């Protein structure tokens, strides 16, 4: 369905919602740039260009693409961004490279990859980000920097040096926090934080608090829109790792929006389509001097609660931000830095997810360990690498979970029309037929567990047929094929055999290419058909027929071998 950018019937509601989002995003965008330790204006530009451009491309009608706290912290840990000569160009290059990665993932329809990220990893990551946001604002909230190799040590040093706190600076920050919490409960709602920052910043000239730092003291806020820039291609290779981390964070946060907000047509958006929109937004942001951006759940919630009914709400929000920059750019520079720190502290506290922590904690020790390791790694190592640790743990958890899911059950005939299901015997009896049915994944990590669950072959085993039902498995892999080969050899040495039922054509080709089909015997492999149970029944009948034939001609090989060993 074609995207509708302007709906005349909802235009008034969209303009009002866009106005609220646009005005609120100005201080928020500056704060995110501040959080990333870059020129706060680049955060504002990222907000403006990301919100505006993504509205034309995302599958989600309401997704707002802006810089998020998690992404800002990743940016802050990238050393190239803080290089004295090329830091600014590296920031723009990072946004463009992040956008290219997102765009490629979206175009290749890889949105489903997000489902492999465990909830425990994201819970640990999000709550660590919340704590880092709060701790990262203590310097600007208290007006001094006590030093420390990381934010935890800096927080401890703040407590040890409370006598160095600049009281006017602390007062501006605390007033901001108080006003945000208070004014949001009034009719101002989301606009309350804008008023809070303005009122708190006015305290500086009103009382002559020269010790309080303002935005003008650290950056120049232009009264014009950004011009396009093209960073040098030589900057891109060194930024691949942080760009991958940013893409991962942005896409995961965006996926939560995709799953939570239904489009006006009543259908859920497509994750891959939202990847495309976020990718375009990053490329545009980088070209127009903005920092990396991603799907923002809080901003999406804000614009929808403000009454947005079409994409034009986000488009108008971008126009509103541009208008504020052009009309009030120089005035923005008067915002006090502790006021922005107070805003970020409020955002940090609201980022905590105690309910999610409790849920993960109750699910078991593995989930607890994953959440804890992710949380601690985010606090102790640069966030761009901590994100990759989370990705690696996601993959490791997937492998562990899949390998532990495999189990083997025996189907046994009864006098009634239906077989019963039970645990297979520890060892194979003589002169018998066993029908084994595996449940779960048979990929390489599960193969050793599967092999341990197979009934053992010992000196008493002879003239026994094991039927293994493989219906539903289209790819066994070399590790699992080696397990089958060893088991078939053990059975053969004890005058028994392995019979495969319900074998898919693709598995037949694997058996042929590896030569395993000769060891098992083509006559002992029964190909799956559309009729459920047909191949399994044929394998069962063949096994019983073979065992019956062997009983007419008893095999003495095992007992002779036993006598020899004795």
For 35-76, write each residue's pLDDT tens digit: 999 999 999 999 999 999 999 999 999 999 999 988 999 999
For position 313, what pLDDT does the model report? 95
For position 93, what pLDDT does the model report? 97
Segment 317-332, tens digit of pLDDT: 999 999 999 999 888 8
For position 253, what pLDDT does the model report? 86
User: For residue 561, is pLDDT > 60?
Assistant: no
For position 402, what pLDDT does the model report? 67
Output DSSP code: residue 28: H
541 in helix, strand or coil?
helix
Per-residue pLDDT band for 385 (boundaries 50, 70, 90) equals confident
For position 4, what pLDDT does the model report? 67
For position 553, what pLDDT does the model report? 61
CA dihedral 87, 92, 95, 99 (to 10 degrees): -140
List the alpha helices (DSSP H) in 147-239: 151-160, 167-183, 192-207, 215-218
Output DSSP code: residue 456: B
CATH code of 407-565, in short, is: 3.30.750.24
Instruction: Give CATH 3.30.750.24 domain extents, the chain.
Output: 407-565
Give the predicted TM-score (pTM) of the model: 0.74
Question: How many other C-beta atoms are found inside a 10 Å radius of the C-beta of residue 85?
Answer: 7
Per-residue pLDDT band for 442 (boundaries 50, 70, 90) equals confident
Segment 499-536, tens digit of pLDDT: 999 999 999 999 999 999 999 999 999 999 988 889 98
Segment 237-246, tens digit of pLDDT: 999 999 998 9
Count how many Cα atoms sit within 13 Å of the Cα of residue 358 in the half-sphere of its side chain.
4
Which of 550, 564, 541 has the alpha carbon at shortest distance from 496? 550
User: For residue 346, is pLDDT > 80?
Assistant: yes
Q: What is the mean pLDDT of the chain?
A: 88
Contacts 24+ apart (CB under 8 A), 513-520: 514/478, 514/481, 516/481, 516/484, 516/485, 516/488, 519/485, 519/488, 519/489, 519/492, 520/484, 520/488
Segment 415-436, tens digit of pLDDT: 878 889 999 999 999 999 999 9
Which of 69, 369, 115, 52 has the alpha carbon at shortest distance from 252? 115
How much of the chain exceeds pLDDT 70, in percent? 96
Cα–Cα distance between 55 and 60 in angstroms, integer?
9
Q: Which residue has the tokens 């810089």?
A: 67
For position 67, what pLDDT does the model report? 92
434 in helix, strand or coil?
strand
Residue 185's φ and ψ, nearest 5 degrees, are -90, -5
More confident residue, 114 or 110: 110
Contacts of 408 (CB under 8 A, 6+ apart): 424, 436, 437, 438, 439, 450, 453, 454
For position 40, what pLDDT does the model report? 92
For position 89, what pLDDT does the model report? 96
Q: Are 52 and 315 contacting, i.e. CB atoms less than 8 angstroms apart?
A: yes
Per-residue pLDDT band for 559 (boundaries 50, 70, 90) equals very low
Residue 305's φ and ψ, nearest 5 degrees, are -70, -25
Per-residue pLDDT band for 557 (boundaries 50, 70, 90) equals very low
Segment 170-221, tens digit of pLDDT: 999 999 999 999 998 898 887 888 899 899 999 999 999 999 999 888 877 8
Segment 262-304, tens digit of pLDDT: 999 888 899 999 999 999 999 999 999 999 999 998 899 888 9
* CA-to-CA separations, 313 to 28, 29, 123, 303, in angstroms, rounded: 18, 18, 31, 7
Residue 117's φ and ψ, nearest 5 degrees, are -90, 115
Cα–Cα distance between 46 and 554 in angstroms, integer?
82
Cα–Cα distance between 489 and 437 in angstroms, integer?
20
Question: How many other C-beta atoms are found inside a 10 Å radius of the C-beta of residue 227?
Answer: 8
How much of the chain exceeds pLDDT 90, in percent? 57
Output DSSP code: residue 115: G
């Amino acid at each position: 369905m074609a995207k509708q950018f302007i709906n005349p019937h909802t235009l008034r509601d969209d303009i009002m919602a866009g106005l609220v989002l646009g005005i609120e995003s100005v201080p928020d965008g500056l704060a995110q740039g501040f959080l990333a330790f870059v020129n706060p204006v680049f955060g504002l530009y990222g907000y403006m260009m990301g919100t505006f451009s993504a509205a034309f491309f995302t599958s989600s009608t309401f997704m707002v693409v802006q810089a998020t706290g998690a992404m800002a912290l990743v940016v802050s840990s990238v050393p190239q961004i803080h290089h004295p000569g090329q830091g600014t160009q590296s920031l723009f290059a990072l946004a463009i490279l992040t956008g290219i990665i997102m765009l490629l993932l979206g175009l290749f329809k890889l949105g489903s990859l997000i489902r492999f990220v465990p909830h425990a990893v994201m819970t640990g990551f999000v709550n660590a980000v919340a704590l880092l946001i709060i701790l990262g604002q203590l310097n600007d909230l208290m007006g001094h920097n006590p030093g420390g190799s990381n934010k935890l040590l800096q927080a401890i040093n703040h407590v040890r040096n409370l006598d160095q706190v600049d009281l006017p600076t602390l007062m501006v920050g605390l007033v901001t926090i108080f006003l945000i919490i208070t004014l949001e409960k009034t009719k101002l709602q989301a606009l309350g934080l804008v008023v809070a920052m303005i009122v708190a910043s006015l305290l500086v000239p009103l009382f002559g608090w020269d010790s309080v730092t303002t935005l003008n003291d650290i950056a120049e806020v232009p009264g014009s829109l950004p011009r396009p820039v093209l960073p040098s291609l030589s900057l891109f290779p060194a930024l691949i790792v942080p760009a991958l981390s940013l893409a991962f964070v942005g896409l995961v946060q965006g996926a939560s929006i995709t799953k939570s907000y239904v489009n006006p047509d009543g259908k859920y958006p497509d994750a891959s389509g939202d990847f495309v929109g976020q990718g375009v937004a990053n490329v545009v942001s980088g070209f127009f001097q903005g920092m990396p951006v991603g799907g923002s759940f809080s901003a999406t919630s804000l614009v929808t609660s403000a009454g947005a009914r079409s994409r034009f709400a986000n488009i108008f929000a971008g126009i509103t931000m541009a208008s504020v920059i052009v009309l009030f750019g120089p005035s923005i520079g008067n915002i006090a830095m502790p006021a922005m720190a107070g805003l970020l502290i409020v955002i940090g506290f609201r980022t905590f997810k105690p309910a999610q922590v409790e849920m993960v904690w109750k699910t078991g020790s593995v989930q607890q360990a994953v959440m804890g390791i992710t949380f601690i790694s985010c606090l102790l190592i640069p966030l761009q690498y901590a994100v990759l640790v989370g990705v690696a743990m996601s993959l490791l958890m997937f492998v562990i979970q899949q390998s532990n899911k495999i189990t083997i059950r025996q189907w046994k005939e009864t006098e009634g029309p239906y077989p019963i299901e039970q645990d297979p015997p520890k060892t194979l009896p003589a002169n018998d037929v066993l029908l084994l049915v595996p449940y779960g994944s048979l990929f390489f990590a599960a193969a050793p567990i599967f092999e341990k669950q197979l009934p053992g072959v010992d000196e008493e085993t002879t003239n026994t047929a094991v039927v293994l039902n493989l219906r539903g498995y289209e790819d066994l892999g070399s590790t699992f094929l080696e397990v089958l080969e060893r088991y078939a050899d053990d059975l053969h040495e004890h005058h028994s055999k392995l019979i495969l039922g319900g074998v898919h054509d693709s598995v037949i080709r694997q058996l042929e290419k590896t030569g395993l089909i000769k060891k098992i015997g083509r006559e002992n492999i029964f190909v799956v058909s559309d009729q459920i149970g047909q191949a399994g029944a044929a394998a069962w009948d063949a096994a019983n027929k073979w065992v019956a034939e062997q009983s007419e001609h008893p095999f003495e090989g095992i007992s002779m071998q036993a006598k020899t060993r004795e």
